[in-house]
Structure 1
């Protein structure tokens, strides 16, 4: 039995025109699954699952392979898994599960751990067949770490650029779009059983992963999206877009730099060559992608472009790009914690224990700071969010315990500030009330 790493290495070195066949049988290779399990077994969620359910890992892997061999594997619909996330969160007595690995916990809670493992194996295979070619050229970068994107954008001397085109793929779920994805996959993979399996995951809403989780902005921002098969599906579309951009660069003699992150891309165009013709042809060629969203910006005195929930500010009078918190996302997030422009309780949290209510709110504020830690205005923009969010927490506790807001502040908030009052230990104090964040420098 060949090692999975060796097989993946061979696949990654094949030329782009090479047709891969008999790849489905590689899914019977135990080493693929043990490699994934070696990665996730380090996480507390998976450790707890194995102990609680008395799981035999060898049996778990054998069951997956048996279903594949008999062609009976069918993944659970991803929409069901994600839509039930709060049900299990609110039943849980350990709110930290929401923080540690939300995605893995959802799969475990829905009895879909086999899907989680197999989708990671499929992601490895697709990434090594296709994605290894995506960063081949300097003009087109597919990045999967936020800090790398920030560093790339901050290094841009945007005074040298004339136009910026933003492409967003998040709404392109037309049936013809799925056929486009299948066409991209079939171009390199000549294996009917493998393609049918991928089709089953697409039909189980794996292509719509971002659309579903984006209905909850807070949850979307801190979910580890690149750890999911859907991230590879989006990158396959970028592979197609890269081919179009490369062809137009050569024909129109323009200078273009492109950066892609998850479901968005920025094309930065320098003066020179047939820029007008490039933009016209680009819009025409991209029409084959149904519901793709294309926005064009001319870099004048000031431009703000929203990209991966940050505001990217281009100003000709400044040397480098500014990275700011997105006011749009911040306002949408605040909306979850207010009613009629006043902080409001969240009804579905009232049944939680008081300690868990505080823990959940604390996790949310921590993640907002964590997500925007690279923004230059994070502390300024977070003031308004903290006001609504903190007072929503206080209102929720007040309603739960049927006491006034003033009583909540007197009874709990002061106690959390001083560790020796009312018997609170240092561990019981919430960091929510006075935690501040210094902007992370890159």
Structure 2
């Protein structure tokens, strides 16, 4: 830990409030938590207080903070070649693409690099439209795909509504058995009825007009919604029936988050396009991309792809990908996420639910979990925002940095989290929930 000072913390707050314009926020009342540094699953402030990072910042620090292999790789690349135009070849870029496709399904051998997850989805949409010659993109209401032109309109949540400037987007309901839109009472019913709903939307829109179905493999910000058995293969079958491309958004769920390299590895499905960002290098340098099927890539063998970014395949980002994926392989980090999910988080969170009536449902995989909080388990009425605000304060007071969304606690530590760190976090969740329940 570096010898940071309280004065540095005050300077950070002053500069932030004077000059920084924050995303998704009304600016006047902001008082952001200041982070001075981090290592592994912990961060600390300028007063030297440490906090468990069970948000993984924005569910992206899969390899943990300050991993020395990744830091060294970025430093070495900066000394060798700090930037390069995307039209030029670069060894770091080639190695990064090779490392990514090594974990992709057979028949997916090309990567188009972007600057983050939003423009990964943006370009996947463009690729699907150009490949099929069709226009419409179908995506779910409970989704987030990024804050750029088409990606935000593909998004289903409230952030779409003030930003609807792109054309050709249609939304539908995906499966969510706890709050089923289809009056389902079992996972099998939810799958069957959700697929029927999707097919009726396709038929009503005219399947010959639909370029792609865009889905988060496991819905992230909108609730950590793990698809029920058979749903994703069913979507794949519908896409094949109507000649539609399937884009799986793995920006949040990919590279270890669910205890697999890609979340779709759990579900026996192969997409046509995979979008990624976040966990591919744990956000150490901004980067994202699209993995293309060989069929889609071949469309542009003799046809210009009309898209590009100045920093596509930036060498510092590429070096960080190579180092991060290499470390994840050699250190068994994905396997650790799977084990933590099965052996530690799943039983630990279930035990929390047994003790706390506020918890209506526990769901997740790997190190990707949500606790849905309700006023009453019978009615499933979500707890109000004031309760979530109180809960956040109690968690922060106990030195846990949480990820809260609507009426949910998202339990999303780094993939390198240890058993002891999870035990500490579970004790903090327990204490905070106890205090909040006592006040209701």
Q: Same fold (TM over 0.5)?
A: no
Which of structures 1 and 2 has the bigger CA Rg? 1
**Normalising to structure 1: TM-score of the pair?**
0.21
Higher-RCO chain (CA-CA 8 Å, sequence separation at least 6): 2
**Normalising to structure 2: TM-score of the pair?**
0.21
Between Structure 1 and Structure 2, the one with more strand by share is 2
